[in-house]
Amino acid sequence: MQITAEHVIRFLEYVAQSIKSHRDELTQLDSPIGDADHGVNLDRGFTAVLGKLPSVADKDIGTILKTTGMTLVSTVGGASGPLYGTAFIRAGTALADRYELTDDEVVVALEAALEGIVARGKAQRGEKTMVDAIAPGIDALKESIGKNEDILSATRYAVQAVEEGMKSTIPMLATKGRASYLGERSIGHQDPGSTSAFYMAQVLLKTLEEMQT
């Protein structure tokens, strides 16, 4: 299965749709432990990304992703803009001049995205952030591809790992970001960043499944 620039455009369009449909839920998750703006901010950012996509539809995948990242950084407030923006920029840099992707290149891009999030947010696993959902997903994807499973099967496995990682944030004590100010009151709430990451993982799976039909 060859992932092309057209598929990346479709993935971003689906992300925008998913974020919009889950905007209120993401904002509600952010209310007790954040600024109650995660869904609203991401929706604004990906709506702006939609407006940029026609201008990069004929470009390489790296350019598409870097444009997405720069748009998020410039339009999304709070922590999510710089974090997701950096993730897309790093992924785009890793895929410069690519018009088609191998399975291994998908892994390289996701690892670059995670490294960007970790560097920007100075977060590690276990601190109740999106890293707790994204990192296990990438581990699962790498493990599956390492066993010569196809990218679709590997992504299904990865999405399950992302979901488990997202749910694992509920009992965690937040030690990074706005939620860390709450101390033990942060326990019992699902991290909104890990939740939006899960929705993006679901969208990636949806995009790959459609490529098979």
Tokens of 141: 């994807």
Sole residue written with tokens 């994807």:
141
Residue 168 pLDDT grade (very low, low, confident, very high; cuts 50, 70, 90) = very high
pLDDT above 90 for 213: no
- What value does the mean pLDDT take over residues 36-62? 95
Widest Cα–Cα separation across the chain: 49
pLDDT of residue 181: 62
Whichever domain contains 90, its CATH number is: 1.25.40.340
Is pLDDT above 80 for 180? Answer: no
As a whole number, mean pLDDT of residues 1-6 equals 90
Q: Is the pLDDT of residue 65 over 70?
A: yes
Q: What is the pLDDT of residues 118-149, one digit of tens each?
A: 999 898 999 899 999 999 999 999 999 999 99
CA separation for the pair 156, 152 (Å, rounded): 6
CA distances from 108 to 118, 131, 205 (A): 15, 16, 17
Taking only the tens place, the pLDDT of each residue in 66-117 is 999 999 999 997 788 999 999 999 999 999 999 999 999 999 999 999 999 9
Average pLDDT across the chain, whole number = 93
- HEC string of the chain equals CCEEHHHHHHHHHHHHHHHHHCHHHHHHHHCCCCCCCHHHHHHHHHHHHHHHHHHHCCCCHHHHHHHHHHHHHHHCCCCHHHHHHHHHHHHHHHCCCCCEECHHHHHHHHHHHHHHHHHHHCCCCCCCCCHHHHHHHHHHHHHHHHCCCCHHHHHHHHHHHHHHHHHHCCCCCCCCCHHHHHHHHHCCCCCHHHHHHHHHHHHHHHHHHHHHC
User: Has residue 182 got a pLDDT over 70?
Assistant: no
Domain boundaries, position 173:
3-212
For residue 176, pLDDT beyond 70: no
Tokens 């790498």 sit on residue: 142
| Number of domains the chain contains | 1
